[in-house]
Amino acid sequence: MSEYKNQIESLLHDHGISHSQINFNLGVEELYAEALSRDEALLASNEALVVSTGKFTGRSPKDKFIVRQSQSEKNVWWGTVNRDISEENFEKLYKKMVAAMNSKELFVADLFAGADPEFRLPIRVINEYAWHNLFCHQLFIRPNAAELAEHRPQFTIIDLPSVKADPATDGTNSETFIVLNLEKGLILIGGTEYAGEMKKSIFTTLNYLLPLKGVMSMHCSANIGPKGDTALFFGLSGTGKTTLSADQTRSLIGDDEHGWSDKGVFNFEGGCYAKCVKLSKEQEPEIWGAIKRGTVLENVVLDDKGVPDYNDISKTENTRAAYPIHNIPNAVEPSVGGHPKNIVFLTADAFGVLPPISRLTKEQALYHFISGYTAKLAGTERGVTTPEPNFSTCFGAPFMVHHPNVYADLLGKKIDEHNVKCWLVNTGWTGGPYGVGKRMHLPYTRAMVNEALAGMLDNVETTEDPIFGLHIPKSVPNVPNEVLNPRDTWSDKEAYDKQAKDLAGKFNENFKKYTEGTADAICKAGPKAG
- pLDDT at residue 175, as a whole number: 98
Q: Say which amino acid occupies 508.
A: N
Q: Is residue 415 a contact partner of residue 343, using CB atoms and an 8 Å limit?
A: yes
Q: Name the catalytic one among 229, 256, 349, 465.
A: 256
Q: Is residue 391 a contact partner of residue 469, using CB atoms and an 8 Å limit?
A: no
| Residues 181-186, mean pLDDT to the nearest whole number | 96
**Domain 216-260+339-523 class, CATH top level:** alpha beta
- pLDDT at residue 383, as a whole number: 45
What are the backbone angles phi and psi of residue 125, rounded to the nearest 5°?
Answer: -120, 125
Given a cut of 90, whether residue 270 has pLDDT beyond it is: yes
- Is-cis flag, bond preceding 153, omega within 30? no
| Residues 358-376, mean pLDDT to the nearest whole number | 96
Find, among 223, 254, 277, 252, the residue nearest to 439 by Cα: 277
418 is known as an active-site residue: no
Please give the CATH number for the structural domain made up of 2-213.
Answer: 3.40.449.10
Separation of alpha carbons 249 and 242, rounded Å: 15
SS3 category, 253:
strand
Given a cut of 70, whether residue 77 has pLDDT beyond it is: yes
DSSP-derived secondary structure for 282-340:
TT-HHHHHH-STTPEEESPEE-TTS-EETT--SS-S--EEEEEGGGSTTB-SS-EE--E
Q: Assign 5 a pLDDT band (cuts: 50, 70, 90).
A: low
Q: Is residue 180 a contact partner of residue 65, using CB atoms and an 8 Å limit?
A: yes
According to DSSP, residue 141 is labeled: B
Q: Name the catalytic one among 57, 201, 205, 242.
A: 242
Find, among 416, 373, 430, the residue nearest to 397 by Cα: 373
242 is known as an active-site residue: yes
Q: Assign 386 a pLDDT band (cuts: 50, 70, 90).
A: low
Q: Name the catalytic one among 275, 320, 359, 368.
A: 320
Q: How far is CA 331 from CA 27, 156, 246, 267, 272, in A?
A: 21, 28, 9, 11, 11
Structural domain boundaries of the chain?
2-213, 216-260+339-523
Given a cut of 90, whether residue 382 has pLDDT beyond it is: no
Given a cut of 50, whether residue 381 has pLDDT beyond it is: no
335 is known as an active-site residue: no
Find, among 95, 273, 69, 296, the residue nearest to 188 by Cα: 95
Q: Name the catalytic one among 72, 172, 217, 237.
A: 237
| Residues 512-519, mean pLDDT to the nearest whole number | 91
Per-chain mean pLDDT for the chain: 93
Q: Name the catalytic one among 83, 96, 120, 241.
A: 241
169 is known as an active-site residue: no
Q: Assign 8 a pLDDT band (cuts: 50, 70, 90).
A: low
Separation of alpha carbons 137 and 31, rounded Å: 10
Q: Which residues pair with 473 in a beta bridge?
A: 462
**What are the pLDDT digits (tens) for 321-345?**
999 999 999 999 999 999 999 999 9
Q: Name the catalytic one among 200, 368, 402, 506.
A: 200
- pLDDT at residue 378, as a whole number: 46
pTM of this structure? 0.94
Q: What angle do CA 126, 132, 136 make, to 5 degrees?
A: 80
Q: Assign 7 a pLDDT band (cuts: 50, 70, 90).
A: low
- pLDDT at residue 6, as a whole number: 63
Find, among 259, 208, 201, the residue nearest to 230 by Cα: 259
Q: Name the catalytic one among 53, 57, 59, 275.
A: 59
Separation of alpha carbons 525 and 515, rounded Å: 12
Q: Name the catalytic one among 142, 199, 219, 368.
A: 219
Give the side-chain half-sphere CA count within 13 A for 202: 32
For the chain, the helix, strand and coil percentages under 3-state DSSP, each to the nearest 5: 35, 25, 45
- pLDDT at residue 242, as a whole number: 81
124 is known as an active-site residue: no
Q: Is residue 296 a contact partner of residue 265, using CB atoms and an 8 Å limit?
A: no
What are the backbone angles phi and psi of residue 258, rounded to the nearest 5°?
Answer: -145, 160
Separation of alpha carbons 427 and 350, rounded Å: 9
Given a cut of 50, whether residue 529 has pLDDT beyond it is: yes
Q: Assign 11 a pLDDT band (cuts: 50, 70, 90).
A: low
Separation of alpha carbons 223 and 335, rounded Å: 9
142 is known as an active-site residue: no
Separation of alpha carbons 109 and 243, rounded Å: 29
Q: How far is CA 135 from CA 150, 230, 321, 521, in A?
A: 23, 28, 10, 44
Given a cut of 60, whether residue 463 has pLDDT beyond it is: yes
Q: Assign 260 a pLDDT band (cuts: 50, 70, 90).
A: very high
Separation of alpha carbons 394 and 374, rounded Å: 12
